[in-house]
Amino acid sequence: MTHAQATQPTFPDHGAPESVIPAVEVADLTKTFGSKVAVDNVSLKVAPGQFVVLLGPSGSGKTTLLRCVAGIDRPSAGLLRIGGVDVDGPGTHLPPEKRDLAMVFQDYALWPHMTAEQNVSFALRRRRYNADERQSRSLLALAQVGLAGLEGRYPGQLSGGEQQRVALARALVAEPSLLLFDEPLSNLDADRREQLRVDIGAMVRRLGAAAIYITHDQAEAFALADVVGVLDRGRIVQLASPETVYRDPASEFVARFTGLAGELEGVAGEFDGSHLTVDVSGHEIYGRPMLGGPPEPGSPVRVLIRPTAAHFGGSDSPDLNGRALPAVLSNISAPSASNGSEEGHIPPSATLDAVALDSAFRGWGYDHVVELAGGRRLSGIAHSQRLRFESRTQIVLSADGCLVFATSPSATTVRL
């Protein structure tokens, strides 16, 4: 075996049938800009018809990875195939127009001197359609995105949402095998963003194309994706279904980036086969151990709490008496943990005294921020009523949404 053969990247196997040619295959792809590594040894496979969302904060490498797939940027190392054809690798680089893909950009990227119909029609010129066919297909595509009757308007005469719909029609009109989305909703207001998100999901699936969509919004990612890839500092740190990423995050970074109410630190106790007891300043709460198994009893742990794990307990009104909490946690109660394998098992929970600090009306009810004794805060806690400022209440924590990660022995325990 030659040295070149020995170092040849191998494409990842994500369980797709061997007879199905993946829409996109990325193997050991790296992209550097001088000394900065923007994409670090990423491997990814996207099946035909699969909707993959790459989720990560600014600077995580998601845009650079997408631009490499598009052919706008050339990888520094690694291999890239689209539809089984090598498009990037040693001695190979196909330009974007030869990759059978379309891209929807954050800033719309429309020609300002062309009408909506002309912008969409322009995408068909390489497809050898005659003028009448280009027009009829463009008008149909605009109608499909809700812009029938606006085909004669220029981009400056359209709202931001309408301009992004033109960009979507332009991407869909040629029926490519691969669609790329570069945070297409980030410049829109909340109402238009939600409407267009639904349209993108429905239209892409109706077309049957593979899609790679990048965003920093975890709610958007979970709503759209068949598979979510979470990026951190140029690497994909977890690649799984939205449900798996939320329920079983691969790291504390993934858990934090996909939504927490707050964090507590304590000491690991007994494990019942399903849930772990955690001692927090002499009081017990329960959680699910992450990363392969429970930590050793007595070792320091951090409990990351999903918003869905925290809710108000007690009477119908969560406002108990309007008085502030004492300086120490005065009341934590919890049923005893039982074996998680039992039929009908109810996950253990713990009840904590708290003080309401803030509430935000969301239409369906209110999101609250509460403070536990000792100054630790939990946010995003839902209730149909608004709690008064500094009113006293109780928070019930369900063990299934309390994610327990082992910490280093030198970690400082935050006491309640």
**306: phi > 0 → left, psi -120 to 50 → alpha, else beta; which?**
beta
Q: Do the Cβ atoms of 214 and 62 come closer than 8 Å? A: yes
| Strand residue runs (E) in 20-91 | 24-33, 36-46, 51-55, 77-82, 85-89
226: tokens are 């068949």
| pLDDT above 70 for 321 | no
121-175 per-position pLDDT tens digit: 988 887 778 889 999 999 999 998 989 999 999 999 999 999 999 999 999 998 8
Q: Is 395 exposed, middle or buried (0-12, 13-18, 19+ CB in 10 A)?
A: buried
Annotate 365-378 with DSSP letters as a single string: SEEEEEEETTS-EE
**For range 61-88, the mean pLDDT:** 96
The residue extents of the domains of the chain are 3-100+176-253, 260-406
Per-residue pLDDT, averaged over 274-290, amounts to 89
Q: Tell me what pLDDT residue 12 has.
A: 54
Give every CB contact of residue 279 below 8 A, 6+ residues apart in sequence. 266, 267, 268, 269
> Has residue 328 got a pLDDT over 90?
no
d(CA 371, CA 3): 60
Q: Per-residue confidence at 412, pLDDT binned at 50, 70, 90?
A: very low
Share of the chain above pLDDT 90, in %: 69
Q: How confident is the model at residue 293 (pLDDT cuts 50, 70, 90)?
A: confident
Pairing type for strands 310-312 and 392-398 reads antiparallel
Query: What is the average pLDDT across 6-23?
Result: 58
Distance, in Å, from the CA atom of 329 to the CA atom of 320, rounded to the nearest integer, reads: 16
Q: Which CATH superfamily is domain 3-100+176-253 in?
A: P-loop containing nucleotide triphosphate hydrolases (3.40.50.300)
Q: Tell which residue, 331, 341, 328, 313, has the closest CA to residue 398.
A: 313
The string of DSSP letters for 161-205 reads HHHHHHHHHHHHHT--SEEEEESTTTTS-HHHHHHHHHHHHHHHH
Q: Grade residue 346 by pLDDT with cuts at 50, 70 and 90.
A: low
Q: Rounded CA gap, 292 and 274, in Å? A: 12
H-helix or E-strand spanning residue 103 = strand 101-104
* Average pLDDT of the chain to the nearest whole number: 86
Could you give the percent of the chain with pLDDT greater than 70? 85
Q: What is the pTM of this model?
A: 0.85
User: Which pLDDT value is given to residue 281?
Assistant: 76
Q: Which residues of 102-128 are buried (b: 16+ CB within 10 A; e: fewer)?
A: bbbebebebeeeebbbbbbbbbbeeee
> Residue 404's pLDDT is what?
96
d(CA 177, CA 115): 26
Residue 106: the pLDDT is 87
